[in-house]
Structure 1
């Protein structure tokens, strides 16, 4: 038995899942930023950005995070 406290078990499992999710979100956000810097910050005119956005949506990244990454890559955010 992995400890008796139910909360301790939930916390341990959640930490593991959150770490994987955070790593995925960071990787895909970086990919979007690089693609937006490399070309037009519009997915319709930038094939690399369109692919990165599709991957991000498939991974379940919220639209707000995707838009923020595009704005950051375009130089509209700090």
Structure 2
């Protein structure tokens, strides 16, 4: 099988999976950020944050990434973006 390598197949599938996972993680990080902005960084007092953290854990998001999203929502962010919940 000339011109056909196993790595090219793995690379294509890995890129697709990484793209999907990145989209999910970005969405979860935004949910955590907004939850912290609205009700504070404590999952014991913030139900929305607790549910977002549980979902992040279920999806396989690392604890470090969750902690960075909480810190960003708590004001330790350098990018200065402000997310708000909008209902249509």
**TM-score normalized by the length of structure 2:** 0.82
Which residue pairs with 1:74 in the alignment?
74
The 2-side partners of 1:73 and 1:23 are apart by 19
Which residue pairs with 2:26 in the alignment?
26
Higher helix fraction: Structure 1 or Structure 2? Answer: 1
Which residue pairs with 1:41 in the alignment?
41
The alignment yields a C-alpha RMSD, in angstroms, of 1.0
Q: How many residues are matched?
A: 76
Deviation per CA, 1:33-75, whole angstroms, max 9, x where unpaired?
0000011111111011111001001101000000000000010
Report runs of 4+ in structure 1 exceeding 4 Å deviation: none
Which residue pairs with 1:57 in the alignment?
57
Gaps of 5+ in 2: 79-88
Gaps of 5+ in 1: none
**1:6 to partner: Cα distance:** 1.1
